[in-house]
């Protein structure tokens, strides 16, 4: 700062460096679904941090960059780059520009100042570069994987059978989807749903784009195109999340762990899917997608609502599963896994063909 002694400035810069290596840390969590290390940044909860979210005051300390050495300036730049409050203000500004109701913005603001809030830079990278391939699903089709499905059926047969009978969807398909999505709950994800959506929701802002794009080549242009599209999508999912909070009067889903795409629970539903297709399978008054009964009923309701019928053709079956997850390798994996389960149970595939 202007007016500081040289010794005082040195102490301040040492403090900033410690802050960067500690609180702001580069590698603060486990790996993502792709095996990459996720970068998460804890939102500061000091009074000044909360004030910055609630007002339009600029963040950071008024350091005169002309007085800093190149190394000191780099430290300051990194600190400013990943201070979550910058992006919180961008989000609130964007929601206001898009005409969100005051009550809805207030709920988002409440979540932004929660100590669990994180900005997830690697989520932007994953959402803008991920490619679906057959190799992502080969491990689902091994004998050991089918053994897991059969064990799950033995342990949860009543719940799955009840959902299958009620909605007219084969239990093999319900089991195959739970296996492919989360390995029956083992791989639900480790990022809070709200954190995924609010991180993505600012991905189309210039201030964020220029920090995450990898280059100016064709790959960079494609990444930018996907981020622009993904940001609009994320804000729509965030809006659904807020509406769920308004309807339920609680924040359970906002802080549920989910994938890098914001999907949560055994069936990996998005907020839009939860609102449209979530079902209370065990009739306990709560829709909990980490509960097998609720998850099975919700999957079956989703498929039925999107065209699943008894005696459905193989081609139609694939089209319906593609509505669940827009990935051809995924749909083919689910159908093949369901066939293997059915062969173990009845000696026939789900289409009725003999062994």
The span from the CA of 207 to the CA of 347, in Å, is: 58
Predicted pLDDT at 62: 33
The span from the CA of 332 to the CA of 321, in Å, is: 9
Predicted pLDDT at 217: 75
| pLDDT tens string 187-207 | 999 999 999 999 999 999 998
| pLDDT tens string 263-312 | 999 999 999 999 999 999 999 999 999 999 999 999 999 999 999 998 89
Predicted pLDDT at 119: 93
The span from the CA of 101 to the CA of 343, in Å, is: 53
In the chain, what are the domain boundaries?
35-46+118-355
Dihedral of the alpha carbons of 147, 151, 152, 154, in degrees to the nearest 10: 140
Give me the count of residues in the chain: 355
User: Comparing C-alpha atoms, which of 58, 56, 76, 92 is closest to residue 12?
Assistant: 76
Least confident of 24-28, 101-105, 288-292: 24-28
Q: Are 193 and 255 in contact (CB under 8 A)?
A: yes
The span from the CA of 129 to the CA of 50, in Å, is: 33
Burial of 15: CB neighbours in 10 Å, binned 0-12, 13-18, 19+: exposed
- More confident position, 71 or 90: 90
pLDDT at 178 over 80: yes
Predicted pLDDT at 46: 37
CA 260 to chain centre: 4
CB atoms under 10 Å from CB of 218, counted, come to 8
């Amino acid at each position: 700062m202007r007016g500081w002694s040289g010794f005082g400035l040195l102490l301040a810069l040492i403090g900033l460096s410690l802050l960067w290596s500690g609180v702001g840390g580069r590698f603060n969590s486990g790996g993502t679904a792709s095996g990459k290390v996720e970068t998460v940044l804890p939102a500061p909860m000091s009074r000044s941090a909360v004030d910055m979210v609630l007002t339009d005051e600029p963040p950071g300390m008024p350091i005169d960059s002309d007085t800093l050495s190149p190394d000191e300036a780099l430290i300051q730049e990194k600190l400013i780059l990943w201070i979550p409050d910058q992006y919180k203000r961008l989000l609130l500004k964007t929601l206001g520009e898009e005409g969100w109701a005051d009550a809805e913005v207030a709920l988002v603001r409440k979540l932004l100042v929660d100590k669990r809030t994180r900005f997830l830079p690697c989520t932007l990278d994953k959402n803008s570069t991920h490619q679906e391939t057959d190799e992502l699903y080969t491990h689902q089709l091994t004998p050991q994987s089918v053994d897991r499905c059969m064990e799950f059926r033995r342990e949860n047969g009543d719940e799955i059978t009840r959902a299958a009978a009620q909605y007219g969807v084969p239990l093999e398909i319900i089991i195959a989807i739970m296996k492919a999505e989360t390995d029956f709950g083992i791989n639900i994800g480790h990022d809070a749903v709200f954190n995924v959506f609010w991180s993505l929701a600012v991905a189309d802002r210039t201030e964020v784009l220029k920090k995450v794009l990898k280059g100016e080549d064709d790959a960079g242009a494609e990444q930018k195109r996907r981020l622009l599209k993904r940001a609009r999508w994320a804000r729509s999912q965030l809006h659904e999340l807020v509406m769920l909070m308004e309807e339920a009067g609680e924040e359970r889903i906002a802080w549920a762990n989910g994938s890098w795409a914001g999907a949560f629970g055994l069936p990996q539903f998005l907020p839009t899917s939860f609102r449209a297709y979530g079902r209370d399978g065990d009739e306990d008054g709560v829709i909990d997608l980490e509960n097998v009964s609720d998850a099975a009923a919700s999957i079956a309701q989703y498929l039925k609502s999107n065209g699943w019928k008894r005696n459905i053709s193989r081609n139609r079956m694939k089209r319906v599963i593609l509505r669940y997850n827009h990935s051809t390798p995924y749909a083919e994996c689910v159908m093949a896994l369901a066939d293997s389960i059915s062969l173990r149970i009845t000696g026939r595939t789900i289409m009725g063909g003999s062994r």
